[in-house]
Amino acid sequence: VPKDGYHHGDLRRALLDAAVVAIDESGPAALSLRDLARRAGVSHAAPAHHFTDKAGLLTALAAEGFDLLAAALTTARAETGSFRELGVAYVRFALDHRAHFEVMFHPELYRPDDPEVVAARERSGAVLYTGVEDLPGVAADPGAVREAGLAAWSMAHGFATLWLSGALPDLGRSPEAAARMVLGELGGA
């Protein structure tokens, strides 16, 4: 709820939202703080009060992204109990939160060692690997868990990345349905 007048109300939130829009339009590398200030209707020096610099803002966006991903995976696991649907949820997250997703996996744009980023990333990783352990015949073998988890992660990540880059031909179905089909090609799932 932005206020009128001198104080914005929640400029931090407004800048993050503006960043999402700007990244959806032109990608994370083209981002400029002056542009975000313009979009939020404040002076160009204002963003520095909330995020020291561009990397600071993208660090906050990455942390938020890993949090959203962890939440999406947790929900998918609770609601379906299916490992395959965990992969589908990963793809859905990437497509629905394209800006967050693109920043998250371009660590050269932000500070990947930031404590909040590290914690959020670990949360999302934990959900993924807990999901692998649900698979029959895998839970007993830690090596198999790592292999199957890495394979599923690669596949979901690759499908999402290819889709976002426009590299995939027309698949004649929704990206979610196509992802579900592709993930079915995994041996264990």
Partner DNA sequence: TGTACATCAGTGAACGCGCGTTCACTGATGTAC
Query: Taking the mean position of all CA atoms in its chain, how far away is CA 41?
Result: 27
Between CA 76 and CA 83 the distance in angstroms is 9
- Tell me if 20 sits within 8 A of 99, measured CB to CB: yes
Please choose which of DNA, its own copies, none residue 138 contacts, taking the beta carbon within 5 to 8 angstroms, the exact cut-off set by kind.
none
Separation CA 15–CA 51 (nearest Å)? 10
Tell which one of 17, 27, 39, 42 touches DNA (CB under 7 A).
Answer: 42
Say which entry of DNA, its own copies, none residue 3 contacts (CB below 5 to 8 A, set by partner kind). DNA
Report the distance separating Cα 168 and Cα 58, nearest Å: 28
What is the distance in angstroms between the CA of the first residue and the CA of the last residue of the chain? 45
Amino acid 14 reads: A
Q: How far is the CB of 1 from its own copies (least distance, A)?
A: 35
The distance of closest approach from Cβ of residue 67 to DNA in the complex, given in angstroms and rounded to an integer, is 22
Backbone angles phi, psi at 33, to 5 degrees: -65, -35
Q: What is the rounded CA–CA span in Å between residue 145 and residue 13?
A: 38
Stretch that binds DNA, among 6-14, 74-82, 90-98, 108-116 (CB under 7 A): 6-14
CB 51 → DNA: shortest distance, Å?
9
Q: Which residues are CB-contacts of 133 (< 8 A; sequence separation ≥ 6)?
A: 139, 145
Q: Residues 48-87: x/- map of binding to DNA (CB under 7 A)?
A: xxx--xx---------------------------------
Segment 88-107, which members bind its own copies (CB under 8 A)? 105-107
Among residue numbers 139 through 178, which ones bind its own copies (CB under 8 A)? 147-148, 150-162, 165-168, 171, 178
Hey, what amino acid is at 72? A
Question: Minimum Å distance from CB 31 to DNA?
Answer: 7
Q: Per CB under 8 A, which of residues 26..65 are in contact with its own copies?
A: 26-27, 29-30
Applying CB under 7 A, which residues contact DNA? 3, 5-9, 11, 31-35, 37, 42-46, 48-50, 53-54
